[in-house]
Amino acid sequence: MPGVTRETLADAHRVVVKVGSSSLTGDDGRLDVDALRALSDVLAARRAAGRQVVLVSSGAIAAGLGPLGMTGRPRDLATAQAAASVGQGLLMARYTEAFARRGQRVGQVLLTVEDVMRRAQYRNALRTLDRLLDLDIMPIVNENDTTATHEIRFGDNDRLAAIVSHLTRADALVLLSDVDALYTAPPGVAGARRIDRVTGPQDLAEVRIGGAGSRVGTGGMATKLDAAAIATGSGIPVMLTSAANVAEALDGAPVGTWFAATGSRKNARRLWLAHAARPNGRVVLDDGAVRAITVGKKSLLAAGITGVEGEFDVGDVVELVSTDGLVVARGLVAYSSAELPPLLGKSSAALRDEIGHDREVVHRDHLAVVRHRR
């Protein structure tokens, strides 16, 4: 549905809704079944009205705290994974029961970064989500906390939700938290003002982010702003509000904060490169090369490279950085880190004379700009 706005959100065909741990747990850290049922009722009603919903739900670790007798989120990875193992089954059982009361079937989808950083697995995840929706089954997505390591984690479900919204070609992303909107400062601070609409970076100039997330979650307003940037930059508008306001938000009421889409839809490969792929090294570019790939939409040539960092092979994902260390793009490199240094700074003509070809270091079809710079 092109041009979805806050006012037309009620008519959006496919929406991704993300709910955080803090919205699904009580003060004791245990799963709040009433809150879960209230959310399920709203989403099931939307599905009954002919709209599609993909739910990205945190809460597995939080749901496991009570049964394990814990009072807060574990600090070490192994214990957190154990809590997720206990809690994920409980969380899905509650969702299955709650949605069944409204005649809606649900299916569990657990993802890790590996599932979206490798193209074959990325395509398989897309096919699975599409098939569930075709079968009138609401996908409930979570990060696979029981197996993910620190190195292969999304880090928070806000970022996961932004990637899922692109993966499923959603018309909008709704981020639910325990805060009803984005404010210029934490809501408890004197003078904090709610921001009704964000159309670009200028609307965030006065925003001062507080601390991290709740004691049962990993997110916070910073991760939600990052997720909003990923989604809106890919042409997907975002509604940020509280779980208590979800019905009003989905009806297009003037609640929360609306982030207007700022970019165009990216193809799957560029999304994968920009937000999901793990880089194996860095290639340092001069100012001319930075302008060529970000503004000119050109391929990266050896002539514009000033340095190579780390070790990588042909076909690996590398970060393309400016001389001051700013990451401007990511791409699939056509040379290994051992082959590249002797070629740096050389023109295409010189490379043809020296090695018999002048192929691009990163072709523009295999490159995703992370930040535009003029």
Q: What is the pLDDT of residue 217?
A: 43
| Position 293 in a domain | yes
Q: What residue numbers does the annotated binding site for ATP cover?
A: 18, 177-178, 218-224
In the predicted model, what is the mean pLDDT of residues 4-26?
A: 91
Q: What is the pLDDT of residue 374?
A: 38
Whether the per-residue pLDDT at 273 is higher than 50: the answer is yes
> 170-174, 203-207, 252-256: which has the minimum mean pLDDT?
203-207
Q: What is the pLDDT of residue 147?
A: 55
Burial category of 307 from C-beta neighbours within 10 Å (exposed 0-12, middle 13-18, buried 19 and up): middle
Give the chain's mean pLDDT.
85
Q: What is the pLDDT of residue 210?
A: 59
| CA distance linking residue 144 with residue 226, whole number of Å | 21
Whether the per-residue pLDDT at 349 is higher than 90: the answer is no
Whether the per-residue pLDDT at 152 is higher than 50: the answer is no
Whether the per-residue pLDDT at 10 is higher than 80: the answer is yes
Residues in the chain: 374
Give yes or no: residues 97 and 67 share one domain.
yes
Give yes or no: residues 290 and 196 share one domain.
no
The torsion defined by the Cα of 292, 294, 300 and 304, in degrees rounded to 10, comes to 50
Name the H helices within 67-181: 77-100, 113-117, 119-134, 157-167
Model confidence, pTM? 0.79
Amino acid letter, 143: E
Q: What is the pLDDT of residue 22?
A: 83
Q: pLDDT, tens digit, for every residue of 73-119? A: 788 878 888 888 888 899 999 999 999 999 999 999 988 766 665 66
Give yes or no: residues 332 and 201 share one domain.
no
Q: Which of 222, 248, 270 is the last residue of a domain?
A: 270
Give yes or no: residues 161 and 189 share one domain.
yes
Whether the per-residue pLDDT at 2 is higher than 60: the answer is no
Structure tokens at 211: 């601390």
Give yes or no: residues 257 and 284 share one domain.
no
pLDDT band at 51 (very low <50, low <70, confident <90, very high): very high
Total domains in the fold of the chain:
2
Give yes or no: residues 308 and 199 share one domain.
no
| CA distance linking residue 301 with residue 361, whole number of Å | 5
CA atoms within 13 Å, Cβ hemisphere of 166: 31
| CA distance linking residue 305 with residue 316, whole number of Å | 17
Give yes or no: residues 258 and 296 share one domain.
no
In the predicted model, what is the mean pLDDT of residues 279-289?
A: 93
Share of the chain above pLDDT 90, in %: 48
pLDDT band at 121 (very low <50, low <70, confident <90, very high): confident
| Position 1 in a domain | no
Q: What is the CA radius of gyration of the chain?
A: 22
Q: What residue numbers does the annotated binding site for substrate cover?
A: 58, 145, 157
Q: What residue numbers does the annotated binding site cover?
A: 18, 58, 145, 157, 177-178, 218-224
Q: pLDDT, tens digit, for every residue of 242-262? A: 999 999 999 999 999 999 998
Q: What is the pLDDT of residue 113?
A: 63
In the predicted model, what is the mean pLDDT of residues 218-239?
A: 84
| CA distance linking residue 366 with residue 374, whole number of Å | 21
Q: Which of 223, 253, 270 is the last residue of a domain?
A: 270
| Position 290 in a domain | yes
CATH of the domain at 348: 2.30.130.10
CATH of the domain at 38: 3.40.1160.10
3-state SS assignment for residue 241? strand
Of 19, 41, 43, 42, the residue nearest 31 (C-alpha): 19
- Full residue range of the structural domain in which residue 223 is found: 6-270
Whether the per-residue pLDDT at 47 is higher than 90: the answer is yes
| Position 298 in a domain | yes
Query: Terminus-to-terminus CA distance in the chain, angstroms?
Result: 32
Whether the per-residue pLDDT at 178 is higher than 90: the answer is no
Whether the per-residue pLDDT at 288 is higher than 70: the answer is yes
Burial category of 202 from C-beta neighbours within 10 Å (exposed 0-12, middle 13-18, buried 19 and up): exposed
Q: Which of 270, 290, 308 is the last residue of a domain?
A: 270
